[in-house]
Chains A and B, each alone.
Chain A
Amino acid sequence: MHSIPVTVLTGFLGAGKTTLLNHLLSENHGRRFAVIVNEFGEIGIDNELIVSSDEEIYLMNNGCICCSVRGDLIRVLSGLAKRRGGFDAVVLETTGLADPAAIIQTFAMDEDIRDAFALDSVATVVDAFHYPRHAAENRQALEQVVYADLVILNKTDLVAPEVLDDIQKQIRRINDTAQVVATTRCDIPLGTLLDRKAFDIGRLLFRSPGLSEAAQHGHEHDHGIASTSLTVAEPLDPERLGDFLRDLLRDKGQDIYRCKGIVNVAGAKQRFIFQGVHMYLETAWGAPWAADEERDSRAVFIGRGLNRDMLETGLAGCVAGKGAA
């Protein structure tokens, strides 16, 4: 039995989440969606399987805020699992201020959910007209972009090209691995929105490294949130890397929203892959390196107030064959 894909739609109030949801449900794609919304009301489509769910954040492991899960999601998805076969996929529309971290952690940390469902994508709708103000005033607006694998830059007809360009740069600064699609009324092809398998660790891909240059400079409106990309040419020692990541996430997990890496482990034929949200870390062996491929290790850390030098030194200390640091 395969897992049921779940697409999460986030974005600030008025950004266009409901428009996107209606677009998704009205399109003739032959799929049956179960829809989880925070509030009934604006959905114009008759769908038997619309469920409303009040956000309930449950702290796990002695109340650590960055190990929180969404209790309501566990409940609703467990209920939906009982009508298996009645739908092919799930769409979850969040509130304008929802923290995507708790949603991602729910899929990672609850075995029942992990067993029956797979987080397919976190798509964040950004209102191009209001984003500069939203981003300046609310950290949540930036955090929603940080967790996205797809950013739908909406209402682009309302802003000048140079403003749009600025917003794109700002998005890149805090998340240079997401795909950014510009739209006017969330008119995104459904093929782009669905079946992304963005959280399938085996599919973790990086954009071209050149794009990460922008990430290296902070910005006054970013609430200290920045994306730091690192590259190491020498092969790494897996044990040292494990220790480094474990210590890093234990000490700084609160401030590290996401981390991802594709690593060249000394002596291994396959890529070693890691990805994490706050203190939660997942690792796996990825595709084998091709014979003629340049085997370098790349990692991205997105967080608040992260020290690039510290990360660089830490990762450099994981190089295989070096004396203990």
Chain B
Amino acid sequence: MSFAPDAEQPGVMRADFGAYVAGCAFSPDGSVAAYALGDGCVALYIPATGETEYVAAHKGAALSLAASPRGFVSGGDDGRVVLTAWDGDYRELAAYPGEWIEHVAACATGKVLAAAKGKQVVLFDDALSPNLLPDLPSAIGGLAASPDGRALAASHYDGVTVYAPPRPAGRSNTFDGPGSNLAIVFSHDGAKIACATQDKSVRVYDLDQAAGYLLEGYPAKVRALSFSGDAAMLWTGGEQAFVGWPVDASVDPSAREATVFGMFEHGLLGTVAAHPVLPLVAGGFDGGVVFLGSVERMGAAPLVILDGRKITSLVWSPDGRRLAGGTDSGAAFYMNLAD
């Protein structure tokens, strides 16, 4: 149950949690990696000591995880939002019995801490007290905070609602997006939002221009999105390869063409994480293989193979030196790519 070094791959630590890995996150300084698990635990791995601590944060399954400067925030199907400190101390921030907390969002500046409860955004103020925002048109499909904390976005049926700034009684702005909208991410500069849809497409919104456009052509539903560190590219899952779209304003929308490389014949790209600094992108393919793609070389090489049908989570440390991830069957890894 603890992390142990891989006998053949130096720098790779592996663990078998025996429960679905619903989310991974790093503390802002990169010293703690957290894994939210289907048995309700949040597992904390501290590479410096090699210790793994299990925090019994939830009674059912932990469904979502995000890192804030105050600790890891997790949501569970016990209806609770829990904040777990780096040392494993945890406290309940809110509880909504009978509801599922499928999405949580936080940012590195600590300005935003939020969760999704059915059709409502739960926004925590500086004192960590929950505030329920007005109902959205449907259950929330995805929730994301901009890295600077100036905006919070929730996807729902027929659109995306952006709260900027995110305040309990603040204004919100809804962007149109017909159909069912799911996973949502901000670019690092906070200027763009990408949202995956139920209809095998991705919609990108430029917040300055208040307009969105659709990226299509996927053979399957897109489950993951990640902007490159410079916000010029959007990497997506949903294909048996890495797919990157130029989303820079300088590219004519009608001439937009996807960069596709790293074809993998055995499964779809289910999770994707662009490197925060370098032109690299990590991707988890169905079947359990994590590839590292190089945008410059237009190629990808396998990084680690995990037990499981799906890589469910993949995340870089903020400095881009470490990578963590896990699968639907509970296999997890932590990798140091810098030493």
A112 in contact with B60 (CB, 8 Å): no
Q: Which residue of B lies closest to A58 (CB)?
A: B180
| Complex alpha-carbon distance, A193 and B253, angstroms | 54
- Cβ contact of A56, chosen from B38, B61, B138, B178, cutoff 8 A: B138
B60 in contact with A83 (CB, 8 Å): yes
| Complex alpha-carbon distance, A86 and B221, angstroms | 27
Asked whether A207 is an interface residue with its Cβ less than 8 Å from the other chain, the reply is: no
| Complex alpha-carbon distance, A4 and B139, angstroms | 24
Chain B residues whose CB sits within 8 angstroms of the CB of A237 once the complex forms:
none
A82 in contact with B180 (CB, 8 Å): no
A79 in contact with B61 (CB, 8 Å): yes
Asked whether A217 is an interface residue with its Cβ less than 8 Å from the other chain, the reply is: no
B100 in contact with A60 (CB, 8 Å): no
A81 in contact with B198 (CB, 8 Å): no
- Cβ contact of A82, chosen from B63, B220, B221, cutoff 8 A: B63
Against A, the Cβ 8 Å flags (1 = close, 0 = not) of B9-25 are 00000000001101000
A233 to chain B, nearest CB (A): 39
A83 in contact with B77 (CB, 8 Å): yes
Asked whether B239 is an interface residue with its Cβ less than 8 Å from the other chain, the reply is: no
Chain B residues whose CB sits within 8 angstroms of the CB of A166 once the complex forms:
none
B98 in contact with A52 (CB, 8 Å): yes
B20 in contact with A40 (CB, 8 Å): no
Chain B residues whose CB sits within 8 angstroms of the CB of A322 once the complex forms:
none
A82 in contact with B100 (CB, 8 Å): no
B63 in contact with A112 (CB, 8 Å): no
| Complex alpha-carbon distance, A56 and B198, angstroms | 13
Asked whether A72 is an interface residue with its Cβ less than 8 Å from the other chain, the reply is: yes
Asked whether A110 is an interface residue with its Cβ less than 8 Å from the other chain, the reply is: yes
| Complex alpha-carbon distance, A163 and B102, angstroms | 49
B98 in contact with A81 (CB, 8 Å): no
- Cβ contact of A58, chosen from B19, B20, B39, B179, cutoff 8 A: B179
B221 in contact with A112 (CB, 8 Å): yes
- Cβ contact of B100, chosen from A61, A63, A79, A85, cutoff 8 A: A79
Asked whether B223 is an interface residue with its Cβ less than 8 Å from the other chain, the reply is: yes
Asked whether A324 is an interface residue with its Cβ less than 8 Å from the other chain, the reply is: no
A60 in contact with B199 (CB, 8 Å): yes
Against B, the Cβ 8 Å flags (1 = close, 0 = not) of A41-80 are 0000000100110101011110100000101101110010
Asked whether A200 is an interface residue with its Cβ less than 8 Å from the other chain, the reply is: no
B20 to chain A, nearest CB (A): 4
Asked whether A111 is an interface residue with its Cβ less than 8 Å from the other chain, the reply is: yes
Chain B residues whose CB sits within 8 angstroms of the CB of A74 once the complex forms:
198
Asked whether B157 is an interface residue with its Cβ less than 8 Å from the other chain, the reply is: yes
Asked whether A84 is an interface residue with its Cβ less than 8 Å from the other chain, the reply is: yes
B93 to chain A, nearest CB (A): 20
Interface centre among B118, B178, B179 (most CB of A within 10 A): B179
B61 in contact with A82 (CB, 8 Å): yes
B100 to chain A, nearest CB (A): 6
A60 to chain B, nearest CB (A): 6
Asked whether A1 is an interface residue with its Cβ less than 8 Å from the other chain, the reply is: yes
A71 in contact with B61 (CB, 8 Å): no
Residues B45-103 near A (CB distance < 8 A): 60-61, 63, 77, 98, 100, 102
Chain A residues whose CB sits within 8 angstroms of the CB of B266 once the complex forms:
none
| Complex alpha-carbon distance, A112 and B60, angstroms | 21
Against B, the Cβ 8 Å flags (1 = close, 0 = not) of A17-60 are 00000000000000000000000100000001001101010111
Chain A residues whose CB sits within 8 angstroms of the CB of B118 once the complex forms:
54
B198 in contact with A60 (CB, 8 Å): yes
Against B, the Cβ 8 Å flags (1 = close, 0 = not) of A135-171 are 0000000000000000000000000000000000000
A56 in contact with B139 (CB, 8 Å): yes
Chain A residues whose CB sits within 8 angstroms of the CB of B22 once the complex forms:
82
Q: Which residues of B contact A (CB under 8 A)?
A: 19-20, 22, 38-39, 60-61, 63, 77, 98, 100, 102, 118, 138-139, 141, 157, 178-180, 198-199, 220-221, 223, 309, 328-329
Q: List 20 A-B contacts (CB under 8 A).
A: A1-B309, A48-B60, A51-B100, A52-B98, A58-B198, A59-B179, A60-B198, A63-B179, A71-B141, A71-B157, A75-B139, A75-B141, A79-B61, A79-B63, A82-B20, A82-B22, A82-B61, A83-B60, A84-B328, A115-B309
Given contacts A48-B60, A60-B179, A81-B20, 9 further A-B contacts (CB under 8 A): A54-B139, A58-B179, A60-B199, A71-B141, A79-B63, A79-B102, A83-B20, A84-B20, A111-B220
Q: Report, nearest first, the 5 A-B pairs whose CB atoms are least far apart.
A: A83-B61, A58-B180, A82-B20, A82-B38, A82-B61
